[in-house]
Structure 1
């Protein structure tokens, strides 16, 4: 029960890493607010967890929705201890082929969403005496890959913002870290599979990025997020923890 009675918000938790994180938090004793832009998916995951979970719709790019979710969390569970900024998506494209509206939407969710959620969560954490924020970065925060210009830029921003937030709020007993997943077998890639000519070859290429020659599972990332949410990581802040099957070791 490593996060017993801690109140946790997980964004983008209707599937994949977010859903796995919400479940692991609940298994370890937390009260979890499961949020997703798809309200039905959020409610479904929360229902599967039980009475210690609340499912809410949230578009992290909209300040009014973020503020409302934080308010509902505190009203329902009494406090806020942990924020997991997981919501995000990726698109294919170079800076030449990426449309401006697609670039703006990705940045609004993947980077601005982290800022907005932290903006409204941190004051509540201060009232509770501190807390932990875990941002989902990526291995591409430090290693570029072709044809993902907007996504690479957004995740590089998340890694940098994590360090800034850690320094800004350390005196308030708020730790801020990021997790950098490698290639994870989750819903993130479903839309990409639909857009490529040979999905099977595309998947094999993804698997080959890891020296372990396989994709990770959402729970592999959820377990690291759980560690960073718990008091076991009480001396960790401003750091990025890479879980990538050895991809960045090469």
Structure 2
């Protein structure tokens, strides 16, 4: 469990959900971890006592991101790993969101990752095992109903990951992505809570994943940690689907 011993990591959106699970697993595996989030004062019970460094920033604010990354690098004493996990959800078909919402979601989900990576690169270039892992989604690789904006943003993350990997491989910086299926997170919980029949909506979300349940945040975290670890030294420019088979399986009913 010490594969990240001595390594320093930054996790965006790390105060809750998948980001919190990633931060906790990195610590369990020996890393020192900074969490970049809009709310670092109210960490969940699984994060309290882990010695996390809180760095407050909204990824849509470049100046705040640069300040937060600088704080993380200074307090950690360097940086080896960046987990670009912060993002927001969006619902609706292509006609259901106005320009302002399209700009907002793309600014957070795509340009937010650019801001963090851009600020972190000087420190990552000093690492002997630098890695960036971006959180994409099953929405990038499968057509899902009522997810046009969200799918567009996560498809962009997948393409961005490949382009970053090509640009940075010569400098020894690996870049990969993880594609979660529908995960059991606070955002999905709020989505279910707003449905006319939450139980029926949850059953429908579970049924569309071939293994018949929601993905756990820790399952995504384990895939992220593999991609970030020195054990994946020859893995770059790719993605791992953690979706219960939703991306590739076509089961007979």
TM-score tier (shorter): over 0.9
Deviation at 1:116, TM superposition (A): 0.7
- Tell me if the contact between 1:183 and 1:244 (Cα under 8 Å) persists in the aligned partners: yes
Distance 2:173 2:181 in 1: 26
Matched residue, 1:32: 33
Matched, 1:48 2:71: no
- Tell me if the contact between 1:43 and 1:54 (Cα under 8 Å) persists in the aligned partners: no
Matched residue, 1:228: 227
Matched residue, 1:14: 15
Q: Where do residues 98-137 of structure 1 align in structure 2 (5 Å cutoff)?
A: 98-137=97-136
Matched residue, 1:90: 89
Higher helix share: 1
Distance 1:35 1:120 in 2: 13
Deviation at 1:231, TM superposition (A): 0.6
Deviation at 1:130, TM superposition (A): 4.8
Deviation at 1:47, TM superposition (A): 3.5
Matched residue, 2:158: 159
Deviation at 1:45, TM superposition (A): 6.2
- Tell me if the contact between 1:34 and 1:46 (Cα under 8 Å) persists in the aligned partners: no
Distance 1:59 1:80 in 2: 20
Gap regions ≥5 residues in structure 1: none
- Tell me if the contact between 1:14 and 1:34 (Cα under 8 Å) persists in the aligned partners: yes
- TM-score scaled by length of structure 1: 0.95
Deviation at 1:245, TM superposition (A): 0.6
Distance 2:68 2:37 in 1: 11
Deviation at 1:129, TM superposition (A): 3.9
- Tell me if the contact between 2:139 and 2:147 (Cα under 8 Å) persists in the aligned partners: no
- Tell me if the contact between 2:16 and 2:44 (Cα under 8 Å) persists in the aligned partners: no
Query: Matched residue of 1:104: which SS?
Result: helix
- 1:149-192, Cα deviation, whole Å (9 max, x unpaired): 11000000000000000000001100000000011111121331
Matched, 1:218 2:217: yes
Matched residue, 1:241: 240
Once the two structures are overlaid, the 10-residue window that deviates more, 195-204 or 80-89, is 195-204
Matched residue, 1:139: 138
Distance 1:46 1:66 in 2: 22
Deviation at 1:142, TM superposition (A): 1.2
Deviation at 1:115, TM superposition (A): 0.8
Alignment RMSD: 1.5
Gap regions ≥5 residues in structure 2: none
Deviation at 1:107, TM superposition (A): 0.9
